[in-house]
Amino acid sequence: MAAPRGNTKWQTLARYVAYLVVAVAVLVPYVLPLPLTFKPSDWAKKLYDRVEALPEGSAVLFSFDYDPAAMAELYPMSLGLLRHCFRRNLRPIVMTHWPNGVGLCKQLVEKTAEEAGKTSGQDYVFLGYKPGGSNLVLNMGESLQGAFDRDYYGKPTEGMPALAEVKKLKDIPLVVDIAAGGTVEMWIAYGRDRFGFDLGAGCTAVIAPDLYPFLQSKQLCGFLGGLRGAADYETMLDKPEDATKGMQAQSLVHVFLIVLIISANIGYVWTRVVRGPED
């Protein structure tokens, strides 16, 4: 990160000091945990309650649409949701619209299934990746086995016990899309509104503001936004892990950024008072 032209030596130094403080603020809570507690948000609670309300043995479709870049925020919430499903003896059906996300999905599914002692094909299905985006969703709405004739491990989906009584999307009571892109809107337009299942969502903090209109219109039944959403879910599961630890680091970094913004603006106002207003 080279210093831009025209910056004074002090401005450049201030930037490097800011980088150093951010690094320290991220690392400190992992060494010295802070006594910070928080209440889960209402939208996270709604998603948790929707999963709780499903009868035992119900199928839940998860679309994990992200790659390693968004892993820090989305992997912990995916982990929490899958653990919750296995704990309640639900049948997760896992897929992804992102080719780069297949490896992460595999890790997630195999890790949580092993923890819960569940068997592939019997208690859950990992469908892997298929291209098509919205067309794939439409195909799944007509026939799930037609869209995915085999699971990730190459076993035929027709007659698979984990997919018993699940022939198309409308046979699934809850779909959850964990997204680092625009797939939530796609699931709403081509899936939820057409085939009538409940849709929950989780996304990176950057995308979260885009989804608020769908929360108000009740097109989403619950929502996890960014690392905070993941930490909320861990709290409700009573299994605090990476997201909860991450929230402590995020707390310190946010407070530091706020201090930076305020002090930079005090400096800016002071400069305007001393030098006069800008052109």
Partner 1 sequence: MWYRLRIPLVICFVMGLLAFTQEFIPHPWAGAFRQEMTTWFRIMGGFGMFLGAYSLLHMHITRIRRKMLGWGYSVFVFIGASAMIVSGLTEEIIEAVRPYPQPDAFSLFQWLYDYVQVPCGATVFSLLAFFMASAAVRTFRARNAGAALLLVAAVIVMFGRVPMSEYLGGLFGAPGLFPKSADLLMEYPNMAAKRGILLGISLGMISQSLRILFGIERSYLGGGD
Could you list the residues that contact partner 1 (CB under 8 A)? 1, 11, 14-15, 18-19, 21-22, 26, 35-39, 41-42, 67-72, 99-100, 103-104, 106-107, 130-133, 135-136, 138-139, 142-143, 146, 205, 208-210, 212-213, 215-216, 226, 228, 247-248, 250-258, 260-262, 264-265, 268-269, 278
Supply the minimum distance, in Å, between the C-beta of residue 81 and partner 1: 20
Supply the minimum distance, in Å, between the C-beta of residue 88 and partner 1: 27
Supply the minimum distance, in Å, between the C-beta of residue 121 and partner 1: 13
Q: Considering beta carbons, is residue 161 or 240 the nearer one to partner 1?
A: 240
Q: Considering beta carbons, is residue 43 or 174 the nearer one to partner 1?
A: 43
Supply the minimum distance, in Å, between the C-beta of residue 264 and partner 1: 6
Q: Considering beta carbons, is residue 117 or 131 the nearer one to partner 1?
A: 131
Q: Considering beta carbons, is residue 165 or 265 the nearer one to partner 1?
A: 265
Strands laid side by side in the 222-225 sheet: 125-129, 91-96, 59-65, 174-179, 198-203, 222-225
Query: In angstroms, rounded to a whole number, what is the distance separating the alpha carbons of residues 16 and 229?
Result: 31
Supply the minimum distance, in Å, between the C-beta of residue 57 and partner 1: 27
Supply the minimum distance, in Å, between the C-beta of residue 54 and partner 1: 27
Q: Considering beta carbons, is residue 88 or 130 the nearer one to partner 1?
A: 130
Q: Considering beta carbons, is residue 90 or 125 the nearer one to partner 1?
A: 125
Supply the minimum distance, in Å, between the C-beta of residue 58 and partner 1: 26
Q: Considering beta carbons, is residue 1 or 31 the nearer one to partner 1?
A: 1
Q: Which amino acid is at 221?
A: C
